[in-house]
Structure 1
C-alpha cells in the first residue's frame, strides 16, 4: 500500500524588516542681542569669573611689590592682562549672547586655542616670578598657577564640546523619527 506523499511544507512568511530609526538635529539660535545672567551659573561661566579674579589678584600682587618694574614682574603682568582681557571680553560676549548671534564664527576653537596659549604663558610667567623669591612675587605665582589650571580645564571642556559637535551657545534640538517598512501583501 502506497502512502500518499505529503505536500511540502509552505515556505515561512517573510519576516518583517526591523524598524529603522532615523534622526536629525537642528540647532536653534536666537540672534537677538540680550543680556542674560544664566551663563554665569554654568561651569564655563564660573571658570571665567574665577580666572578673571585670579588675573586681577596676580596683577595686584606684582604691582604692590617693591620690585614691580622688574622684567619678571612686567612679563607676569602682561600675561595677567592678556588673560584678564581675553576672559572678560568672552564673558561679555556670552552674557550678551553675541556668541549666539554670530554663531558662524568658530568660538569654541578660538577659546580653546586661546586658553592653551594662556596655559603655557602662565606656566612660564608663574615659574619665573616664584623663582625670584619675593613674597609678593610668590603670591602672584600661586594665583598664576591656579589660573593656569583653570584655563587648562576650560580648554579641555571646549575640546569636548568641539568633539561632540555642540554649539558654543544655543540649543541643539534632536528629533528622532521611526520608519517602519511593511512587508508586501501575501497573494
Structure 2
C-alpha cells in the first residue's frame, strides 16, 4: 500500500512539475493569424499623371492609334496589300503597347517593379512608334487607291507620328536629366522599413 501511495505521489509531483515548466517555458504555441500580403491593395488611379504632359500625350497617342487602326480596317479591297498590312500592324501594336504603359503609369504599377527603368522603356516605345508610324504612313501614302479610308489612315498616321515625336523629345530630355526611375523612391522607403523592422527585432531580449 505504501509503495502505491509513493508512486501516486511521484506521479502527482511529476505532473505538477510539467505543468509549471510548461507555463514558464518561453516557447509557447501561438494562435496569431497569418495575414496574407495584399500586393494589389494600394493600387489607385494617379490623376496627377493623367493631367501631366506625359499622361495627356499617352492618352492622345492611344486614341489616334486606335482611330488610325479603325480607318485601315475599313478598307475592303487592296491591291497590293503590303502597305495596308504594314500600317495595320504598326497602328495595332502601338495602341496596345502604349495602352499598357498608360495603365502601368496611371495605376502606379511601375512603383512595384523598381528594377525596370520605366523611363528608358517609355523612351524606346515612343521612339520606335515615331519611326514605324512615319515609315508605314509613307508606304501607305505611296501604295494606295486614293480611297477615303486610306487617306484618313495616312492623315491620322502622320498626326500620331507627330505626337509620338513630341513624346520622344520630352522623354529624351527627362532621361538625360536623370528623372527616370519612378521606382527609386519606393525602393528607398522599402529599405528604410526593412531596417526599422530589423532594429525592432534586435532590440527584443533574447529568449533563454
Q: Residue 68 of structure 2 aligns with which residue?
A: 58
Of 115, 124, 129, the residue aligned with 2:135 is 124
Distance 1:65 1:90 in 2: 29
Identify the structure with the greater strand proportion: 1
Closer, same or farther: CA 53–168 of 1 in aligned 2, 3 Å: farther
Q: Residue 40 of structure 1 aligns with which residue?
A: 50
Q: Residue 204 of structure 2 aligns with which residue?
A: none
Q: 5 Å matches for 1:12-31?
A: none
Q: Does 2:153 match 1:140?
A: yes
**TM-score scaled by structure 2?**
0.62
CA contact (8 A) 1:55 1:144 kept: yes
Q: CA RMSD in A?
A: 2.2
Task: Name structure 2 gaps, 5 residues minimum.
Answer: 1-41, 186-208
Distance 1:144 1:135 in 2: 14
Give CA deviations for 1:123-156 in whole Å, capped at 9, x if unaligned. 1111122221322111101111111111111111
Q: 5 Å matches for 1:1-187?
A: 32-67=42-77, 70-131=81-142, 132=144, 133-169=146-182
Distance 1:165 1:87 in 2: 22
Closer, same or farther: CA 153–168 of 1 in aligned 2, 3 Å: farther
| Count of residue pairs the alignment pairs up | 142
CA contact (8 A) 1:100 1:168 kept: no
Identify the structure with the greater helix proportion: 2
Task: Name structure 1 gaps, 5 residues minimum.
Answer: 1-31, 173-187
CA contact (8 A) 2:113 2:183 kept: no
**TM-score scaled by structure 1?**
0.69
CA contact (8 A) 1:62 1:68 kept: no
Aligned-residue offset at 1:104: 2.7
Structure showing greater radius of gyration is 2
Distance 2:149 2:175 in 1: 39
- Between stretches 127-136 and 91-100, larger displacement belongs to 127-136
Aligned-residue offset at 1:68: 6.1
Q: Residue 19 of structure 1 aligns with which residue?
A: none
